[in-house]
Amino acid sequence: MGEFVGVDPENLKELTRRLEQLHELLARHSPLIQQKMQKWGSEVAVTSLPGLIAAALDDVRDMDARTTRAYELARQQGWSALGRAPGIPGLIYKRPPNVRLDWEATGQSGYQGKRDAETLTAALAAKDPQDVRLALLGLPDSLRRHLADKDYQAAFWAGAGPLALRAARALYQRAGGALFSAESLSVLRALGASLAAASQMRVGTGKDRRPLLPAATRATLTGSSDPWSVGMLVKYGPEGRSWDSRLLADLTRAMLDARAAGKTIWPPARGKLETNVDALRHQRLMADYDAVGAVLQRAAENGMAARHVLGDPATGLKYARMLVSDSWHTPGYDPGPFLSSYVRPGGALPPTGQVDLSAPTAAFLKAAVSAERGTSVDAKESAWSVVHIAQATADFSKLHPQTVLPREIRHALIYTADRYLPDFAASASHEFTASMAMQRGEDAASPWAPVVRPAELEALFGQALQEPKEFGAYKGKMDGRISVAVAATIKDPSDQNYLREMGGLYGMIQRIQGDHHFAEEQLKDEQATRTQTAISIVSGGFGALSFSNAFGPGTITQILVALAAPPLNAMFDTDFALQAYKSNADDFRAQVLHVEAPVLQGLILAGAITPPDDASWVKNGVVTRTAAMADWVSRHSDTRYLGKTFTEWVKEAQDAMRLQQ
């Protein structure tokens, strides 16, 4: 503080402009400069160039802040850009006077942030959207320039927070095709990017470390009376991983609460809806500018944000209930007014023209259960999310026994069931008081796992699986895991029997399928999908489970990961398997689904069988079913491997998957 110097604001402005040009030029050409220098074997050290360029940007920011301050001081001294001069008619431009400026003062860019917040405040106060847009022309550039500038960000959001959140409502166009003009989009994008960047900034060190945005500012974000506008900042802001997960989680909760409370979450209607086409177009507009969906989408991209919301033991269930629902569509409209009076029936008509919006909801549910397995807090939140989603599904089915959830949401449930297959299998056979997430064996070194009541699992599978092919795919995934289940039963340091547990889960799924009473033709579909799925997993390599550190602390986590089937689309990439299946269906099916091969594979995986060096039926640890394999198996059917004969292992696998041969 305290180094006052006299400056000419006009010259300072020119200096800033040239500095900025210089920085841009350097930044643009820096890769080429470095490349050429290296190519020519230059002795000049170019490695520090990127650092220097970054420093130049800081200088531009500082100079920009000083320029703004210089003009401000000039105005305080009574200067006005346009004035009258004696002897000259009309207004003329007047140079600002020299001012004295504190050159080194800290918080210069903070000052710029404050000024920009004031500009925004003044601009948004204008009634006419055209005036708003003009007043905000320079804002996006300034916001972008200060994206990494903590002083600026703190000052801007402290000053502009509540208003910036309402920008979308002030900026939208009252007529025309697009809801926002190109300039308005630029403002919304810049505000979104700035908010995302500010959300990730931290100040202080050690114990004192805290978010740059103070609690009060964050509260205005989440407590906004205009959730739709907030949603638009998030929609036009950057991808989910560029946001702070806590802020996105808070915003998600706020949006879901607002939606539940019936607040304005939809874009404003433009004009009166006079025809059926108008009404349909408005439904489309609502879908295109869906604020809740935008926030859910960003939180899903972020991943951890979704897990913060659904993985909270106290509040996660409440939000899971809102998400696992058939209400994810635009409200639709009453077609009555648009019908000819001759055909209009009496009474209210059911709403029509609803547009499905369940995709972001489904993406959010998937993200909520997608943490890497293990002992981390993230894994804990993921496990709790699974528990809450299962409970919410059971609640939904209880309230609406005849309603099937939208396809996207059902697929999120299938994804969850894939990912937590071994966990679901472990709790499918015993009823108990309350589902919860816990570390297996109540041991802090064990991975987090959801332990879900059978009644809730039934509800989850009852909703998730509806079509014969879906049943087939899920059973096929279980078939494809036989070898892993065999290996896991042996390798798991506890006395857990994965095969038997999968058998219990299989029974539950078979029972649910039975209730559907599929016709003969549909059952063929189911069987074909089951076989294809199993083949694509099996031929994709049994080796998904590698017990590199078989008895280390990570064994159970490895087992849980390996037993969880890969996502459906990844599985069906194995075109080769499907081709093989089609070309030689019966033969191939007999080969692959013959349970001896996967059991043998599992025993090899677990190290219980070491194939002879000259065995032709195993290549790189992968079993292929040949006559030589069959011969080897028949000669070893009564040999005991870890307490059971080979035949007993096969019998157990057959029982588990009802794969009678």
Partner 1 sequence: MSRRHLAGLLAVAVCTQMLASCTRRESPTSPEAGEAERRGQALVAVVQCFVDHNVLARSEAENHSWFENGKVQQTAALVDWASSHAETSFSGKTLQVWEDEATAGWPGWRCPL
Using CB atoms within 10 Å of the CB of residue 194, give its burial: 0 to 12 exposed, 13 to 18 middle, 19+ buried: buried
Applying CB under 8 A, among 60, 198, 451, 488 the residue interacting with partner 1 is 451
Task: Supply the DSSP string of 19-50, one letter for each residue.
Answer: HHHHHHHHHHHHHHHHHHHHHTT--S--TTHH
Q: Which stretch binds partner 1 (CB under 8 A): 153-161, 281-289, 457-465, 605-613?
A: 457-465
Q: Which long-range contacts (CB under 8 A, 24 or more apart) does 439-443 make?
A: 439/375, 440/556, 441/494
Q: Which of 271, 247, 137 is nearest to 198 (CA)?
A: 247
Contact 413, 393 (CB under 8 A): yes
The residues facing 83 across adjacent strands are 92
Q: Binder to partner 1 among 42, 494, 616, 639 (CB under 8 A)?
A: 494
517-536 positions binding partner 1, by CB under 8 A: 517
Smallest gap, in angstroms, from Cβ of residue 643 to partner 1? 8
End-to-end Cα distance, the chain? 87
Please compute, for residue 37, the number of CA atoms within 13 A of its CA located in the half-sphere on the CB side: 13
Q: How far is the CB of 223 from partner 1 (least distance, A)?
A: 36
Q: Are 659 and 506 in contact, with CB atoms under 8 Å apart?
A: no
Q: Which residue in the set 401, 520, 583, 619 belongs to the binding site for partner 1 (CB under 8 A)?
A: 401
- Residue with Cβ nearer partner 1 (78 or 514): 514
Residues 497-516 that bind partner 1 (CB under 8 A): 497, 500-501, 507-508, 511-512, 514-515
Task: Give the one residue of 146, 166, 366, 440 binding partner 1; rule: CB under 8 A.
Answer: 440
Contact 130, 39 (CB under 8 A): no
Which of these segments, 197-205, 208-216, 322-330, 491-499, binds partner 1 (CB under 8 A)? 491-499
Check the CA dihedral 589-590-592-595 and report its sign.
Answer: positive
Identified binder of partner 1 from the candidate list 46, 438, 578, 630, rule CB under 8 A: 438
Q: Please state the closest distance from residue 501 (CB atom) to partner 1, in A.
A: 7
CA dist., res. 561 & res. 545, Å (int): 8
Binds partner 1 (CB under 8 A): choice among 16, 358, 382, 435: 435
Structure tokens at 378: 């993230």
Which of the stretches 193-201, 221-229, 428-436, 609-617 binds partner 1 when contact is defined by CB under 8 A?
Answer: 428-436
For partner 1 (CB under 8 A), the number of binding residues is 38
Q: How far is 159 from 153, CA to CA, in rounded Å?
A: 10
Smaller CB separation from partner 1, 462 or 554: 462
Q: Residue 441, interface with partner 1 (CB under 8 A)?
A: yes
Beta bridge partners of residue 210, listed in sequence order: 203
Using CB under 8 A, pick the residue from 30, 181, 429, 645 that binds partner 1.
429
Residue closer to partner 1, measured from CB, 128 or 520? 520
Regarding 2 and contact with partner 1 (CB under 8 A), the answer is no
Q: What amino acid is encoded at 123 in this protein?
A: A
Binding of partner 1 at residue 488 (CB under 8 A)? no
Smallest distance, partner 1 to C-beta of residue 460, A: 11
Binding region for partner 1 (CB under 8 A): 401-402, 426-436, 438, 440-442, 449, 451, 454-455, 458-459, 462, 492, 494-497, 500-501, 507-508, 511-512, 514-515, 517
